Amino acid sequence: MKNTDVAIVGSGLSSLVSAALLATEGVKVSIFEQNYLPGGCTSSYWRKGYTFDSGATTIVGFDDGMPMKIFSEKTGIDFKLRKLDPPMQVHMPDKKVLTRYNDINKWMAEAKNYWGSNEDLRKFWEEMYKVSKDVWKVSGQQIQFPPSKTKDLLSLIKNFQPGQLKLVPAVFKNVQNEIDNYQLNDLTHFKQFINEQLLISAQNFAEEVNKPFGAAALCYTNYTNYYADGGLMGLIQPIIDYLEENGVELMLRNPVENIVKTKNGYEIISKNGVFRSKYLISGVPVNNTVQLCDFEIRKSNNSKILPSEKLYSAFQIGIGFKGKLDFRAIHHQILLDGKIPELDAESFFLSVNHPEDKSRAPEDHSVANISMHIRNPGNTRFDKEAVAKRVLKELDERNLIKRDSVDYLHSSTQFSWEKWTNRAFGFVGGYPQYHSIKPWQMIDARMDGDKAYQCGDSTYPGQGIPGVALSGMIAVEKLKADWF
């Protein structure tokens, strides 16, 4: 039996962040990963000379006070990234293209161009941007949120700034309340635009997403967006190198099968043997964590586990094609005029390689990742050929990717996600935002009230690169506060 200080289940971004932070403190860390590659939903894979991203394609979180910036300052890891401007374009149902400029004033001018001169529209975006800035400021300051021990409350008080109170009433409002407030319901395609933009960042629609999280999601493009050469593997490779330099053991193809609680810690029963650890961090979703543990997790967390009906998976299409995209951005959201009935979907998302990154496709070719949501993945079945056909038609008609330029294509459903990440029902993208669940009621990092902790996109604040990086930081902060 091998011994380690902290056993970490999974090598998704949340796990990698927590492992690196512990390594900076000289703690002995062992990571168990079931896949043959690290990174989970923030990774890349190779097919027929193309490098595809496994899940995430857009990168934010490196601006001052944001999680990846704090993480890179704490570890000294130097991420080599390209800035993107404009970060994204949105293709409207009427086929007009809206550019989501990084600069908020330029974006508001673009919105005015499309929706017409409207003072309330300007005020809506100004308000969203202001709130989003407050959200990121508070998240970076309150690293022991949500509180579950007196020491967290003391830390909250210690780090309290008067401005933070502004967010409390906002949490009781949803994005739809703001649309009503500014009387924007009747603007052409406005609600579809807001809902689909929310869906990619907050995993839910205007009626469900609270104002602070909604503001952060809607202003995603107003923070610096980045691209990593080589795809998302280019983002996580520097963390993996750092772990290796600092003696962290990363065991690939080594799934954890069971975790037993012992007098002094935990026994991790993995495919390649049994490990004994003092502490445990689970970076797999809480739905999976409960299956692995032979001990009970805290009732306050257990009661919040979401069923398949409340979750999403992703239908993905990977395309290798001749030539390059003839648009200003590399990320595109396509809003459909009419739903894709098989998936009840009103949009899909397209990302291609940066034109200067020649490492991901053969010469004169490009690589594209396309994804859309699959609601209730445990119970949804659909004809993937029919959906892929509809997507290709849209891409062709909108002059994004012409059908005759396609060199290679493959598609995958929730079943591929289940294989790639082992996640329950193949659900991905994190726990969606629900208005009935306030931020302080989200799943907390303290898993069993003892020496086990939880991070990843099913916990607070979840979702996306900045969210899961912060969840990894919070798990480490709480572990340190409790035991070191």
Ligand X SMILES: Cc1cc2nc3c(=O)[nH]c(=O)nc-3n(C[C@H](O)[C@H](O)[C@H](O)COP(=O)(O)OP(=O)(O)OC[C@H]3O[C@@H](n4cnc5c(N)ncnc54)[C@H](O)[C@@H]3O)c2cc1C
Return d(Cα 320, Cα 14) in angstroms, integer.
30
Other beta carbons less than 10 A from residue 289's beta carbon: 28
Judge contact between 212 and 134, C-beta under 8 A.
yes
Residue closer to ligand X, measured from CB, 60 or 361: 60
Q: Which stretch binds ligand X (CB under 6 A): 6-14, 84-92, 177-185, 301-309?
A: 6-14
- Can you tell me whether residue 410 is helix, strand or coil? strand
- What count of other Cβ atoms lies within 10 Å of the Cβ of residue 53? 27
Cβ-based burial of 310 (10 A; exposed 0-12, middle 13-18, buried ≥19) = middle
Applying CB under 6 A, which of residues 21, 217, 284, 473 lies at the interface with ligand X?
284
**Of all helices (H) and strands (E), which one includes residue 149?**
none
Shortest Cβ 38–ligand X spacing (Å): 7
Q: Is residue 158 packed enough to be buried (19+ CB in 10 Å), middle (13-18) or exposed (0-12)?
A: exposed
Should residue 33 be labelled a site residue for ligand X when binding is judged by CB under 6 A? yes
User: In terms of DSSP H, where are the helices of 316-454?
Assistant: 384-397, 414-421
Q: Can residue 4 be called a binding residue for ligand X (CB under 6 A)?
A: no
Query: Is residue 100 near ligand X by the rule CB under 6 A?
Result: no
Residue 334's beta-bridge partner residues? 91, 348
SS3 389: helix
Return the sign of the alpha-carbon dihedral for residues 295, 299, 300, 305. Answer: positive
| Three-class SS state of 126 | helix
Helices (H), 175-266: 175-181, 190-202, 211-218, 233-245
The helix (H) or strand (E) run that includes residue 53 is strand 50-53
Per-residue x/- marks for ligand X, 236-265, CB under 6 A?
-------------------xx---------
Closer to ligand X by CB, 7 or 206: give it: 7
Nearer residue to ligand X within complex by CB, 208 or 457? 457
Q: What are phi and psi of 274, to 5 degrees?
A: -105, 135
Question: Closer to ligand X at the Cβ: 12 or 320?
Answer: 12
Decide if residue 283 touches ligand X (CB under 6 A).
yes
Residue written as token pair 């004169």: 364
**How many residues are recorded in the chain?**
484
Stretch that binds ligand X, among 69-77, 154-162, 445-453, 456-464 (CB under 6 A): 456-464
Q: 155 or 316: whose CB is closer to ligand X? A: 316
Of positions 6, 8, 9, 248, contacts ligand X by CB under 6 A: 9
Stretch that binds ligand X, among 320-328, 355-363, 445-453, 461-469 (CB under 6 A): 461-469
Instruction: Please pick, from the candidates 140, 146, 234, 456, the single residue that binds ligand X as defined by CB under 6 A.
Output: 456
Residues 307-336 touching ligand X, rule: CB under 6 A, are 314, 316
Which residue is nearest to ligand X, using beta carbons?
12
- Residues 384-403, one symbol each (x = binds ligand X by CB under 6 A, - = not), give --------------------
* 335: three-class secondary structure by DSSP: strand
How many residues form the binding site for ligand X (CB under 6 A)? Answer: 39
**From candidates 4, 15, 102, 148, binder to ligand X by CB under 6 A:** 15
CA–CA separation, 24 and 409 (whole Å): 42
Q: How far is the CB of 420 from ligand X (least distance, A)?
A: 7
Question: Smaller CB distance to ligand X: residue 124 or 431?
Answer: 431
Site for ligand X contains 205 (CB under 6 A): no
Q: In this structure, is the dihedral angle defined by the CA atoms of residues 388, 390, 396 and 398, taken in order, positive or negative? A: negative
Query: Cβ 203 to ligand X, closest distance in Å?
Result: 9
Query: In the structure encoding, which two tokens stand for residue 90, read together?
Result: 């949105």
Give which of 300, 387, 297 is closest to 342, Cα–Cα.
387
One of 4, 18, 30, 35 touching ligand X (CB under 6 A): 35
- Binding letters toward ligand X, positions 407-446, x by CB under 6 A: --------------xxx----xxx----------------
Q: Closest CB to ligand X among 148 and 288?
A: 288
Report the nearest approach of ligand X to the CB of residue 470 (Å).
11
CA–CA gap between residue 300 and residue 106 (Å, rounded): 44
- From 18, 42, 222, 454, residue interacting with ligand X (rule: CB under 6 A): 42
| Residue 231 interacting with ligand X (CB under 6 A) | no
Whole-angstrom Cα distance, residue 478 to residue 146? Answer: 11
**Under rule CB under 6 A, residue 13 binds ligand X:** yes
Binding site for ligand X (CB under 6 A): 9-15, 32-35, 40-42, 55-58, 255-256, 283-284, 288, 292, 314, 316, 371, 421-423, 428-430, 456-457, 463-465, 468
